Chains A and B, each alone.
Chain A
Amino acid sequence: QKEVEQNSGPLSVPEGAIASLNCTYSDRGSQSFFWYRQYSGKSPELIMSIYSNGDKEDGRFTAQLNKASQYVSLLIRDSQPSDSATYLCAVKGNEKLTFGTGTRLTIIP
């Protein structure tokens, strides 16, 4: 079992709809959780951090964390073509940050 697993994708969502990206992790001791956005050929860019169970909202982005289920998700509301990118889930615990392999999201105009 991979330490951090994401929807394999690719995921296609119509413009204006909600995009839902999911991530599960294996280490119950994980303490902090991050979502990065990566455009093709560019570096990962941090878009959300979450540490406590529940939802955290920032503009059109909402991160959701459920430590009991070892699950973290990212919702993108009112999806825009500029949201088309690969989204990386990263989980931190015991001094180590582990990345998932990413989910490629395409927003269809």
Chain B
Amino acid sequence: DADVTQTPRNRITKTGKRIMLECSQTKGHDRMYWYRQDPGLGLQLIYYSFDVKDINKGEISDGYSVSRQAQAKFSLSLESAIPNQTALYFCATSSRDTYQPQHFGDGTRLSIL
């Protein structure tokens, strides 16, 4: 089983719909992250959480919200989806250790028509 699990893996929806992407991890990490990646471009940080009560905006938080339901669960919501939010979304986790990397889930491919 994957250490960082994202659901759904693929989603097609319509403009204006509310969408939730979920991430769960079994790595025991405190820190969780949501990224967006557009074709041919780099990773853009949407939100990050250092623990259940510590949630922070990233570079591109407008139009998104998050919820850290437990240490192991971090969900991303699009309250009213728009076509330019079509992208590949990744969840990642890390420990507090400065010398440890982030570990990524398999991603959610989201298409908004």
A interface with B by C-beta (< 8 Å): 31-32, 34, 36, 41-46, 49, 51, 88, 90, 92-93, 95, 97, 99-102
Contacts and interface: CB of A to CB of B under 8 A. Distances in A.
Interface residues of B, number: 18
B42 A31 contact: no
Interface of B: 41-43, 50, 88, 90, 94, 98-107, 109
Q: What does DSSP make chain B's interface, helix, strand, loop or mixed?
A: loop
B42 A101 contact: yes
17 contacts: A32-B98, A32-B101, A41-B109, A42-B106, A43-B105, A44-B43, A46-B103, A51-B99, A88-B43, A90-B101, A92-B99, A92-B101, A93-B98, A95-B98, A100-B42, A101-B42, A102-B42
